[in-house]
Amino acid sequence: MEETVKRFKKRLEELRVYDHAMGVLYYDMETVMPKGAIALAGDTLGALSKTSYQLQIDKAFVADIQAILAHPDAVDPITLCEAKRMNEARERIACIPIDEYVACQIESTAAFAAWQKAKAQNDSSLFLPHLEKLIDFKRRFALYYRPDAPAYDTMLGQYEKGLSTETLDAFFRDVQSALVPLIDRIQKNGYQPDTSFLEQSYPIWKQRELTKYLMQVMCMDPEHSACGEVEHPFTTNFSKADVRITTHYYENAVQSSMYSVIHEAGHATYELNIGDDIARSPLGTGVSMGVHESQSRFFENYIGRSEPFIEAIFPKMQELFPEQLAGVSAHAFYLAVNKAEPSLIRTEADELTYSLHIMVRYELEKQLIAGTLKVADLPEAWNEKYREYLGVDVPSDAMGFLQDMHWSDGSFGYFPSYAIGSAYGAQLLNRMERDLDVWTLAGEGNLQPIIDWLKERIYQYGCRLDPKELMEQAFEAPFDPKYYTEYLTKKFTALYRL
Ligand SMILES: [Zn+2]
């Protein structure tokens, strides 16, 4: 067994090296790579992923995994868990013929480039044929893996193990019945806070200073983290030693980058606080997209949009932007960044209406994968749903179905994790408040005890526990979306004096 484990660990290290190289290339492609180099990088990524795939399905490696799984008592718990996770990952891809796997990687790169162009030129015809091919690939892959399950459920499970359309249908029904009447009351109420000071000119070089400050407040170690600039912000990690966040600056919307930085820093905090014992292991990363989004949205909304936290960071904001924020109080800023109003763009949506944006995407991708909605009909179906759920007219595809990058790389089943993550976050906050004086800490801008609490309950485990097990352990109770709807109802009833 000793020799088996040694060979197994050596292969894990080889796979880590490929992941690292592909990750850096992908990050470069999204941040500073010239557009003309994307096709070549796509070929490189294709070649690297082919080798990585072969290393994962190699017969000798598979035999070592099986040997470890057959003798669970002969190895340490981390090695056993690594073998289980590698086996799950292998089962998901071993069923895919290699030519199709590589073709899909190459198509994903082409689709991403086409989406960028389509969005920039507001021309959906450049992207729709690629979307159709991607859906076809991903549907086939899901059916290779679980021939008897609905393809969309299999896709959901890739981002959140155990999540199904049955759970989500019920979840969104609850969210819709609690939030739609509340949004309606706000609309009818007529009151909206003053947001004019947010739309003044905030020089980008100063916004970069704000990013640095916020990363500091979020306790991100500059030795192990950095921030790049992109069209659509994301976070990536090559290990806990190297976590990259990204943002996008708009001169006339300081809150946009500000909250995107706090959001991405929430993802980064998770990755930076993985246990040292699994730092170089495939277990050394966030367990699922839902749990990840629970962390990003926890810091962005529950902490970042709270009045105590805004009071803590406001002096620094006034120091950076003395003219733009002259005569503005922390309370006025708090009201402005919590303005709730149905809108077109998900990433700019307020906390209250956000889940309805997700519901639109959830319902549409469920139909696209099932084949009940044709790709050609997607733009119109999107616009109709925005009218139905949010009461807004979509003026262009660029502001409609082309706004998000997620479908351009085939991440179908990803969107619901944003809504589930928000709901996890509310339940975490409720549990945390029993142990910590959260609002005094937030008011001091002292997030370390909050991060330590999350590290103890969530971060340190990486992928050692399944999402459901991990969250129930953290909540000390089963998951319950009522904490989310109750939190939003309480917050927005007070904000809008309903
Ligand atoms: Zn996120």
Residue 234 Cα, ligand 1 centroid: separation in angstroms?
A: 7
Q: pLDDT tens across 273-302, in order?
A: 999 999 999 999 999 999 999 999 999 999
My answer on whether 279 and 418 are in the same domain is: yes
Question: What are the structure tokens assigned to 481, written together?
Answer: 């979306």
pLDDT of residue 98: 86
Average pLDDT, the chain: 95
Domain, as residue range, for 99: 2-148
Instruction: Check pLDDT > 90 for residue 449.
Output: yes
Among 343, 497, 498, 346, residue whose Cα is nearest residue 422? 346
pTM: 0.90
Among 369, 471, 453, residue whose Cα is nearest residue 160? 471
Residue 263 Cα, ligand 1 centroid: separation in angstroms?
A: 6
Among 366, 397, 362, residue whose Cα is nearest residue 383? 397
My answer on whether 401 and 437 are in the same domain is: yes
CA angle (388, 393, 395) in 5-degree steps: 145
My answer on whether 57 and 185 are in the same domain is: no
My answer on whether 223 and 343 are in the same domain is: yes
Q: pLDDT tens across 143-163, in order?
A: 999 999 999 999 999 999 989
Residue 491: strand, helix, or coil: helix
Residues with Cβ within 5 Å of ion ligand 1? Answer: 296
What is the residue type of 430?
N
Residue 440 Cα, ligand 1 centroid: separation in angstroms?
A: 26
- Domain's final residue, options 148, 175, 210: 148
My answer on whether 140 and 40 are in the same domain is: yes
To the query of whether residue 444 is one of the catalytic residues in this protein, the response is no
CB 165 within 8 A of CB 152: yes
**Cα(450)–Cα(270) distance, rounded to whole angstroms?**
12
pLDDT of residue 78: 97
Residue 98 Cα, ligand 1 centroid: separation in angstroms?
A: 31
User: From its phi and psi, is residue 146 left (phi > 0), alpha (psi between -120 and 50) or beta?
Assistant: beta
Q: Which of 82, 107, 160, 264 is catalytic?
A: 264
My answer on whether 300 and 275 are in the same domain is: yes
Does 160 reside within a domain?
no
Question: In total, how many domains does the chain have?
Answer: 2
490: Cα separation from own chain's centroid: 26
My answer on whether 94 and 200 are in the same domain is: no
My answer on whether 139 and 272 are in the same domain is: no
Residue 130 Cα, ligand 1 centroid: separation in angstroms?
A: 25
CA distances (Å), 289 to each of 360, 411, 466, in order? 19, 11, 12
Instruction: Check pLDDT > 90 for residue 132.
Output: yes
